[in-house]
Amino acid sequence: MSPSATLDEAKGQQSAAMPLTVDGVAALRANGPQVPTGVAPSTSSDMFKSPACYTKPKAKRWDHIFSIESQARKVSTLKGAAKYLKNPGLISLGGGLPSPEYFPFQELSIKVPTPPGFGPEATRENGTVLTSAKGDVRDGKSLYDLEVALNYGQAVGAPQLLRFVTEHTEIIHNPPYADWQCCLNAGSTYAWDTVLRMLCNRGDYIMMEEYTFSSAQETVLPQGVNVVAIKMDEQGLLPGSLDDVLSSWDEAARGARKPFVLYTIPTGQNPTGATQQAERRKAIYEVAQKHDVIIVEDEPYYFLQMQPYTGADAEPVPPPKTHDDFIKSLIPSYLSLDVDGRVIRLESFSKVLSPGSRTGWIVAAEQVIERFIRNCETSSQNPSGFSQIAFFKLLDEHWGHSGYLDWLIDIRLSYTSRRDAMVHACEQHLPREIASWNPPAAGMFHWIQVDWQKHPGLASGKTHEAIEQEIFQAAVDNGVLVSRGSWFTASGLREESMFFRATFAAASAESIEEAIKRFGDALRVQFRL
Amino acid sequence: MSPSATLDEAKGQQSAAMPLTVDGVAALRANGPQVPTGVAPSTSSDMFKSPACYTKPKAKRWDHIFSIESQARKVSTLKGAAKYLKNPGLISLGGGLPSPEYFPFQELSIKVPTPPGFGPEATRENGTVLTSAKGDVRDGKSLYDLEVALNYGQAVGAPQLLRFVTEHTEIIHNPPYADWQCCLNAGSTYAWDTVLRMLCNRGDYIMMEEYTFSSAQETVLPQGVNVVAIKMDEQGLLPGSLDDVLSSWDEAARGARKPFVLYTIPTGQNPTGATQQAERRKAIYEVAQKHDVIIVEDEPYYFLQMQPYTGADAEPVPPPKTHDDFIKSLIPSYLSLDVDGRVIRLESFSKVLSPGSRTGWIVAAEQVIERFIRNCETSSQNPSGFSQIAFFKLLDEHWGHSGYLDWLIDIRLSYTSRRDAMVHACEQHLPREIASWNPPAAGMFHWIQVDWQKHPGLASGKTHEAIEQEIFQAAVDNGVLVSRGSWFTASGLREESMFFRATFAAASAESIEEAIKRFGDALRVQFRL
């Protein structure tokens, strides 16, 4: 734990002009303000960012982007009264906080991996047990404890965990403007619902990839918001298509103002597995600047960027040797390009720590974060205290940034093997006459194109929809479940092509091979090959 | 853990006509369906209710109550594909569930009270450590484990915890219609936001107590929903005022349809501390039936119903001797009166287990729960798995319903002492000439009326608002924070009377006395007494 580290102990000295590195965190913490350790304290990322951040220009003003609902939100009346709590000696009969003596949880312990032994077996045998007890803060044992975590909190999240994600964000993305902030939240599904309500009114349009996460679309439509699909290639979003849609927008014909929100999954896109490379992102960002568009980047798969695919018989590429190599191997995020503060980045722990924690965070310009917090205050409030204390103990007190990066590298290599097993199985078992694919560079999904024009059903007048369903059902009947591409179409069926999505996240390598074999057999029967 | 209990072992036999009791749970479980133990399984309260429920008539149909947003919600596309997972031998490459080997939490342990030693000291010394490990379900050690809890789940919540809250709901409230259900959620603040979006369109009015929880109002207004205030007395909501508002509603003058949603905190109301007695609730329910109103009962303080107040020098009333006595001592909820299925009950663990868990549940008619779940699916999803597994281990596997009721009785007696300390301090230290109050029967809040017409500022033309602020500031300057009554006014300031809210939830008895003494001194100076 670094708050006790002195400047001399800190390996790297953090100068005002240098971007934050893992080694610079100790010095930053030693020089920064103390983490507030009370119940539901005021906090923000500004407490935890390095001085280098403040040498940058501020974000643009975004007064014009907020929805009617969001504009109507005010600071919580009762939270406003918290300012008086700073008076020394004051006894508060104000807030309705229950006394922690009525929380029937005296201690919480978690058994977690001891680096470098990250696997389940190593953890069972040599894992580390981390314990948080009710009085740890009072007893000087920790900056965060169970009785604080289990009481009410501020919507921005616990400062102890907020500090970690703020530092992590700066180390990985180093946003090029000054006043970015983070806000913890109840996971990216919740964050997307909230961001939409913050930005859009009924009748508005937003832009999404033509194939996208079906739940993300199902969030949009009931809010009365419409989707305009942007075309994709094997790298995902096409900047030309984005520009076309925006340049040719006809408010009268559409009955709606020009869209100003782009939702994208840049890395290991769901469902296509496509990953936008650096140049593609720059091109998209420029279009967003040209039309003053907010980019919502939903990035659960960012750290599932894998080693390059080398083929079944080739030598694998050696893994990153240092943290610096690892960070450099990652494709720059939109956040890292964001000179204007027009990016809202949805960050998730779901794919790298656990989805059930229902804990993620967003990064955006201070003005946007302020409106987001106002919404959370009367909704989910903060993420579960059980989740926050577990993550804090693991990430901050046990692994630190260094151990967390080691864990992420470990995950990268595991997903590389899984992806390789999937692609090898496809090479071996799928009929090349009608099936094609690109090896995914990131994420959990393999997107298999099927040449439906060659399906014998076409001659007897079957529709795209009927043929897709027939292939899907044939696969199920042969013992494998894949997802139909049409489940992911952002605005109506696309008939030009037909896809199936297969995930390599969960099944074992043997099961993946057997499943793809079954899918291949089903395709052969369907296409009479 | 009861799944292994046989019918003979079960203490009480549960006949089809008998309401469920604590002793009847073992037999109910032995005869009921098995709890699904997989990842994100389909489940509902129907799996866990006693046969007695189904002898009752069904709820009314509520097709007409849902908002435009709610009506537009469809069943999740990807969750719909889950039905194929039942095929034996099927390999799923469908859902994007990460493999639990990448969850860096091998075990989670909590140290909790061993009944009857509920206090913090007893727990530190003799508490029980409950442990959940990743493979407990596979190993036959438990019905729920860490790897299931930390993966994705269904929006209704984990079946293992849903079973407990369903049984608890039936034991305590025994709703008088057949098709009620529970849905776990991310706490009542979240649930209220979601219920509102499910019922109301922009421009609608809802009804609230004239003084009510400020956060509940702050949830309503940005959604474009307006509040009409219902008058209160020392028991809270006045049925006559509710009937007046509804009977005299003028759609043209108001520019809005007649309100059909009543939000109320029936027990230990925030901020007034008022508790509606049984006859009052019946009268309100009848008005709701007359005007076809949905009652949203927000009940965080239901189990903070206290022993009767007997005065500083009188003997306390003996605590409930049996669980049955305890349950009978509780004022019947709206849910327990709800023959129509028009009540949406917001249940919270915040005041009795811990607010930081961000876990509660709602109870309502099946049709309402179905729409609520649709909303959660694209928002908070389910409560944190860390919270759900901790509550399951404590409530289901360790305490059982019997131990939980013992805990609630313990909390009742603790809050009784706190309330008594507060009321005694007021009797001793507040100037009776201008201050008056009723001893609260439930909750955390004491509501002190101040006769502001006697304030010397009135002569010099000071407003109600200015005088309230002056008294508030004088109290802060004298070292005590209380809340201003005007912070809780549902629609504009009420000038007839002036109130301050003081909570007895958090401070010690000595601090409460000192704080009230300071408040009394501030009042004397303010009123020149």
Q: Which of A291-305, A374-388, B487-501 has the lowest mean pLDDT?
A: B487-501
Which has more confidence, A42 or B167?
B167
In a domain, A504, yes or no: yes
Say whether both B361 and B443 belong to one domain: no
Residue pair B426/A425 in contact (Cβ under 8 Å)? The answer is no
pLDDT at A195 over 70: yes
Q: Which of B404, B300, B411, B386 is nearest to B348 (CA)?
A: B300
Residue pair A321/A328 in contact (Cβ under 8 Å)? The answer is no
- The mean pLDDT value of chain A amounts to 94
The pLDDT value recorded for residue B409 is: 98
Question: Are A81 and B378 an interchain contact pair (Cβ–Cβ within 8 Å)?
Answer: no
Kindly state the average pLDDT of the residues A34-45: 94
* Boundaries of domain holding A437: 419-526
Q: Which of B281, B279, B276, B284 is nearest to B305 (CA)?
A: B276
- For residue A282, count CB atoms less than 10 angstroms from its CB and return exposed for 0-12, middle for 13-18, buried for 19 or more: middle
Number of domains observed in the structure of chain A: 2
The pLDDT value recorded for residue B313 is: 82
Say whether both B464 and B319 belong to one domain: no
Kindly state the average pLDDT of the residues A434-442: 98
Q: Which of B181, B163, B206, B156 is nearest to B367 (CA)?
A: B181
pLDDT at A83 over 90: no
Task: Give contacts of A105 with chain B, Cβ < 8 Å.
Answer: 110-112, 354, 390, 394
The pLDDT value recorded for residue A293 is: 98
The pLDDT value recorded for residue A3 is: 38
pLDDT at A420 over 50: yes
In a domain, A451, yes or no: yes
In a domain, A447, yes or no: yes
Query: B28 to chain A nearest CA, in Å?
Result: 27
First to last CA, chain A: 62
Residue pair A247/A228 in contact (Cβ under 8 Å)? The answer is no
Query: Of B74, B76, B87, B93, which to mutate for an interface test with A (greatest number of A Cβ within 10 Å)?
Result: B93
Say whether both B262 and B370 belong to one domain: yes
pLDDT at A9 over 60: no
| Owner of token pair 């342990």 | B109
Task: Give contacts of A480 with chain B, Cβ < 8 Å.
Answer: 90-93
Kindly state the average pLDDT of the residues A416-440: 97
Say whether both B370 and B432 belong to one domain: no
Residues of chain B with pLDDT below 70 are: 1-17
Say whether both B297 and B200 belong to one domain: yes
The pLDDT value recorded for residue B83 is: 79
CA distances for B40 relative to A215, B37, B139, angstroms: 16, 9, 19
Report residue A15's pLDDT band, with 50, 70 and 90 as the boundaries: very low
A200-210 pLDDT per residue, tens: 999 999 999 99
pLDDT-above-70 percentage for chain A: 97
Query: Of A74, A83, A93, which to mutate for an interface test with B (greatest number of B Cβ within 10 Å)?
Result: A93
The tokens of B386 are what?
């860390």
The pLDDT value recorded for residue B2 is: 37
Which residue type, as a one-letter code, is found at position A306?
A: M
Question: Are A91 and B515 an interchain contact pair (Cβ–Cβ within 8 Å)?
Answer: yes
In a domain, B281, yes or no: yes
This model of the complex carries an ipTM of: 0.95
In a domain, A16, yes or no: yes
Q: Of B69, B383, B505, which is closest to A223 when you measure between CB atoms?
A: B69
Question: Are A387 and B383 an interchain contact pair (Cβ–Cβ within 8 Å)?
Answer: no
The pLDDT value recorded for residue A84 is: 84
Task: Give contacts of B390 with chain A, Cβ < 8 Å.
Answer: 105, 108, 386
Kindly state the average pLDDT of the residues A9-35: 77
Question: Are B481 and A90 an interchain contact pair (Cβ–Cβ within 8 Å)?
Answer: yes
A470-498 pLDDT per residue, tens: 999 999 999 999 999 999 997 777 788 99
pLDDT at A14 over 60: no
Task: Give contacts of A476 with chain B, Cβ < 8 Å.
Answer: 84, 87, 90
Kindly state the average pLDDT of the residues A457-469: 95
* Rg value, chain A, Cα: 25
Query: A453 to chain B nearest CA, in Å?
Result: 24
The pLDDT value recorded for residue B76 is: 79
A115-164 pLDDT per residue, tens: 999 999 999 999 999 999 999 999 999 999 999 999 999 999 999 999 99
In a domain, A26, yes or no: yes
The tokens of A454 are what?
């060659």
The pLDDT value recorded for residue B86 is: 79
Give DSSP secondary structure letters for A282-323.
HHHHHHHHHHTPEEEEE-TTGGGB-PPP--SSSPPPPPPSSH
Question: Are B124 and A111 an interchain contact pair (Cβ–Cβ within 8 Å)?
Answer: no
Taking CB atoms and an 8 Å cut-off, how many pairs form between chains A and B? Answer: 360
Q: What is the 3-state secondary structure (H, E, C) of B199-265?
A: HCCCCCEEEEECECCHHHHHHHHHHCCEEEEECEECCEECHHHHHHHHHCCCHHHHCCCCCCEEEEC
In a domain, A462, yes or no: yes
Residue spans of beta strands (DSSP E) within A176-233: 180-185, 205-209, 226-230, 232-233
Kindly state the average pLDDT of the residues A332-361: 98
Task: Give contacts of B118 with chain A, Cβ < 8 Å.
Answer: 104
Question: Are A84 and B377 an interchain contact pair (Cβ–Cβ within 8 Å)?
Answer: no
What residues contact residue B356 under an 8 Å CB cut-off, 6+ apart?
A149, A150, A151, A152, A153, A382, A384, A385, A386, A388
Structure-derived torsion over alpha carbons of residues B161, A350, A409, A277, reported in degrees to the nearest 10: 160
In a domain, B120, yes or no: no
Question: Are A76 and B218 an interchain contact pair (Cβ–Cβ within 8 Å)?
Answer: yes
Query: B317 to chain A nearest CA, in Å?
Result: 22
- CATH code where residue B473 lies: 3.90.1150.10
Report residue A13's pLDDT band, with 50, 70 and 90 as the boundaries: very low
Say whether both B175 and B279 belong to one domain: yes
The tokens of A113 are what?
């991996």
Residue pair A374/A137 in contact (Cβ under 8 Å)? The answer is no
Which phi-psi region, left, alpha or beta, contains residue A244 (left: φ > 0; alpha: ψ -120 to 50)?
alpha
Q: Which of B162, B159, B181 is nearest to B370 (CA)?
A: B181
